[in-house]
């Protein structure tokens, strides 16, 4: 079961997105619509939005990264490759219709290495 604080709807505003990121502690949230993954928003995306002078009323859909990394199954090896190459903190696992099934977090991944 994926916790709610990892997920935002496409119309959610910046304040609420930041709140969820602070709660989940993984520096990223997943933008979903009826469980379908539309994109990811990281702290970096929020910084970019501020740089581009977007205001606090900007919606998740206008903030999110649409070319995000994802996996089709819970494959530790593949997840490791993505974490190492792209330094992202969260990888959604989806089915062929992009429905969110699970997720990898960098934190859990690093703990496993320990």
Partner 1 sequence: MKILFFTGSRGEWGYLRPILEKCKKMRVKFSLCATNMHLLDSFGFSLKEIEKDGFKVDDKIYMALDGYNKHTVTKSMGILMSSLVDTLSRVNPDWVVLAGDRGETLIASIVSAYTDIPIAHIQAGELSGIIDGQARHAIGKFSNLHFASNKDAASRLKKLGEEKFRIKLVGAPQLDDLKNKKFNKISNLKVKYNIDFKKGYILVIYHPPQARIESIKQDLNSIFDFLKTVKMKKIWISPNSDAGSSIIKNEFFKKRQSDDYLFDNLPREEYLTLLKNTKCIIGNSSSGILESPTFKVPCVNLGNRQFGRLRAKNVIDVNKISEKKIRKAFIQSQSKSFKRKIKSVINPYGDGNSSEKILKIILNTKIDDKLMFKKLTY
Binding site for partner 1 (CB under 8 A): 10, 33, 36, 38, 48-49, 52, 54, 61-62, 66-67, 69-70, 72, 81-82, 85-86, 94-98
Minimum CB distance to partner 1, residue 21 (Å)? 19
Minimum CB distance to partner 1, residue 8 (Å)? 14
Task: Return the structure tokens found at 14.
Answer: 């910046």
In this complex, which beta carbon is closest to partner 1, that of residue 21 or of residue 71? Answer: 71
Q: How far is the C-alpha of 30 from the C-alpha of 102, rounded, in Å?
A: 11
Task: Return the structure tokens found at 72.
Answer: 């089709």
In this complex, which beta carbon is closest to partner 1, that of residue 13 or of residue 69? Answer: 69
In this complex, which beta carbon is closest to partner 1, that of residue 17 or of residue 82? Answer: 82
Q: How far is the C-alpha of 56 from the C-alpha of 67, rounded, in Å?
A: 23
In this complex, which beta carbon is closest to partner 1, that of residue 21 or of residue 94? Answer: 94
Minimum CB distance to partner 1, residue 52 (Å)? 5
For 24, 77, 104, 111, 113, the CA distances from 64, given in Å and listed in that order, are: 17, 26, 19, 28, 30
Give bridge partners of residue 29 from the DSSP assignment. 41
Q: Which 8-state DSSP code applies to residue 12?
A: -
Minimum CB distance to partner 1, residue 66 (Å)? 5
């Amino acid at each position: 079961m994926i916790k709610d604080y990892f997920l935002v709807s496409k119309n959610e505003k910046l304040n609420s997105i930041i709140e969820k990121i602070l709660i989940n502690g993984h520096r990223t949230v997943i933008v979903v619509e009826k469980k379908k993954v539309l994109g990811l928003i990281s702290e970096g995306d929020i910084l970019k939005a501020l740089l581009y002078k977007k205001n606090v009323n900007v919606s998740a859909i206008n903030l999110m990264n649409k070319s995000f990394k994802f996996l089709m199954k819970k494959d530790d090896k593949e997840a490791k490759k993505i974490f190492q190459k792209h330094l992202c903190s969260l990888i959604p696992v989806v089915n062929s219709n992009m429905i969110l099934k699970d997720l990898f977090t960098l934190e859990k991944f690093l703990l496993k290495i320990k």
